[in-house]
Structure 1
Amino acid sequence: MALRSLFVTVIVGAAVSAAAIAPACAQSPLYQGKRGAAIGIAGAIADKDRPADDFARDKDRKPAALLAFAGLKPGMNVADIMPGKGYFTRLFSNVVAGRGHVWAVVPTWLVEKKPAAADAVKAIAATPAFANVSVLVQPLDALQFPRPLDLVWTAQNYHDVYYGAGADAALAFDRSVFAALRPGGVFVVIDHVANPGADPDIAKLHRIDPAIVRRQVEAAGFHFESQSTVLANPDDTHTVPVFDPAIRGHTDQVVLKFRKPAR
């Protein structure tokens, strides 16, 4: 798969372009959110507007610890890269509240391959309860947002870019994230762990060596800040595909936090 230089932007929940809404972010209904006041991480997780399937996944995904590790706060501008069905998108929306905004970013190549790839997050953005969510379809090497971001997040997807499009494409993605963040902004990468020096067929396992991720992201200009073990599973041998029923939902995952230098 190859990243496209031409990008298509789709913003759900607004009738104007990203360029047009940039000067009016504070006044636009797009930025009102579902509440005037923040409800915090615990309140975001308990929110009745989350679907039952998301609640069922909380035990394994440990969102309270992850969002706290990322430093998510009310008023933040967040990009959820390759959001899937929007599990984290909803949580981000609830935490950043009315003064913050969440952009769910679906890669152009994925929509070209699977036309319905953005449908789940489009449905979220069209729901009044999550009015501070927009959906963007863009190439990962040319990310564009109407304002600098405080946090960029990608969960269980970095391996797809690195092995699907190549190391150069992954580095281009990291550089695009770097450019989109404000100085001091945070980039969080979560992925399924592969053993160091694993067989080239590791791509079939949908895993990646954490050292590769760190090397790539630091090469884009980020400083490595910390690593969380909240999703670690020492019983995972790293040798079976992540979709194998024996390990699915319980893989050993690395959680890496990088920061764009303040200067």
Structure 2
Amino acid sequence: MYDQPKLSELIRFAGIDAGSTVIDVYPGDGDWTRLFSDVKSDSVSRMRALAKEPGRENVEAVSADLVAMPEVTQPADVLWLHLFYHDLHAALIEARDATAADFNRVVYERLKSGGSYVIVDHAAAAGAGTRDAQSLHRIDPASVREEVEAAGFVLEAESAMLANKDDAHSVKVFDPTIKGETDRLAYRFVKP
């Protein structure tokens, strides 16, 4: 997780406010979901337990295939994707006959007009495309932008708040020499 100033800045960057409906894809332990809930898996049961915590009545836990979102979620103001976009190019997703293009199309369908698609992920070296998605858990920011714009989104903002010019982009993100300090892209796309 990030320090408090970066957490606050990321939430502001995402455009999440008290009335926002947010889809948090692949929420892990639910840290971001808790933060988003305050503004207003490992296992699905964990998210359902989180939704039952006092003060979390605004959380609904849904488990669904990534491209089945339209059938199980209401239209949202923001779709948050934190350190996961590169996985859309990993063997696990490809084995399910899903693609990044399919996922981006579904996100487009799920967002309200004017809604935001926020992506934060580990950056790969410029020109790497999706080559390092499986091996290093990184993706070239230019590839993310190209794929998301192809689904009809418009890049509204990008932030360098998580950039790390000292990251050589050549080691796996879990390597102790870089873990937690990778160079990261932060994009906010909007559905026109």
Q: Fold conserved (TM > 0.5)?
A: yes
The aligned runs of 1:63-142 (5 Å cut-off) are 63-95=7-39, 97=40, 116-142=42-68
How far off is 1:201 after superposition?
5.0
* Unaligned runs of at least 5 residues, structure 2: none
Matching of residue 208 in structure 1 with residue 135 in structure 2: no
Q: Deviations over 1:134-164 (max 9, x none)?
A: 1111111121345321000100001111233
Give the partner amino acid of 1:228. S
Greater Cα radius of gyration, structure 1 or 2:
1
Distance in structure 1 (CA, Å) of the matches to 2:114 and 2:108: 10
Give the secondary-structure state (helix, strand or coil) at the position aligned to 1:63.
helix
Determine if contact 1:61/1:231 at 8 Å carries over to the other structure.
no
Matching of residue 195 in structure 1 with residue 97 in structure 2: no
**How many corresponding residue pairs?**
187
Give the secondary-structure state (helix, strand or coil) at the position aligned to 2:55.
helix
Distance in structure 2 (CA, Å) of the matches to 1:173 and 1:68: 25
Give the partner amino acid of 2:142. A
Q: How large is the Cα RMSD of the aligned pairs?
A: 2.1
Relative to 1, partners in 2 of residues 1:244 and 1:146: Cα closer, same or farther, differing over 3 Å?
Answer: closer
Give the secondary-structure state (helix, strand or coil) at the position aligned to 1:205.
coil
Give the partner amino acid of 2:102. A
Q: Normalising by structure 2, what TM-score?
A: 0.89
Q: Deviations over 1:160-200 (max 9, x none)?
A: 11233359611100110100111111000110000123393
How far off is 1:124 after superposition?
1.1
Give the secondary-structure state (helix, strand or coil) at the position aligned to 1:240.
coil
The aligned runs of 1:145-156 (5 Å cut-off) are 145-156=72-83
Relative to 1, partners in 2 of residues 1:147 and 1:168: Cα closer, same or farther, differing over 3 Å?
Answer: closer
Distance in structure 2 (CA, Å) of the matches to 1:127 and 1:218: 37
2:174 maps to 243
* Unaligned runs of at least 5 residues, structure 1: 1-56, 98-105, 107-115
Determine if contact 1:178/1:220 at 8 Å carries over to the other structure.
yes
Q: Normalising by structure 1, what TM-score?
A: 0.66
Give the secondary-structure state (helix, strand or coil) at the position aligned to 1:204.
coil
- Which residue, 73, 77, 90 being the options, matches 1:163? 90
Distance in structure 1 (CA, Å) of the matches to 2:86 and 2:4: 20
Distance in structure 2 (CA, Å) of the matches to 1:136 and 1:88: 15
Distance in structure 2 (CA, Å) of the matches to 1:187 and 1:219: 13
Determine if contact 2:132/2:139 at 8 Å carries over to the other structure.
no
1:219 maps to 150
Determine if contact 1:236/1:252 at 8 Å carries over to the other structure.
yes
Determine if contact 1:60/1:249 at 8 Å carries over to the other structure.
no
Give the partner amino acid of 1:204. S
Determine if contact 1:141/1:169 at 8 Å carries over to the other structure.
no
Residue identity over aligned pairs, in percent, reads 42
Distance in structure 2 (CA, Å) of the matches to 1:157 and 1:235: 22
Relative to 1, partners in 2 of residues 1:143 and 1:202: Cα closer, same or farther, differing over 3 Å?
Answer: closer
Distance in structure 1 (CA, Å) of the matches to 2:141 and 2:50: 31
How far off is 1:126 after superposition?
2.1
Determine if contact 1:191/1:253 at 8 Å carries over to the other structure.
yes
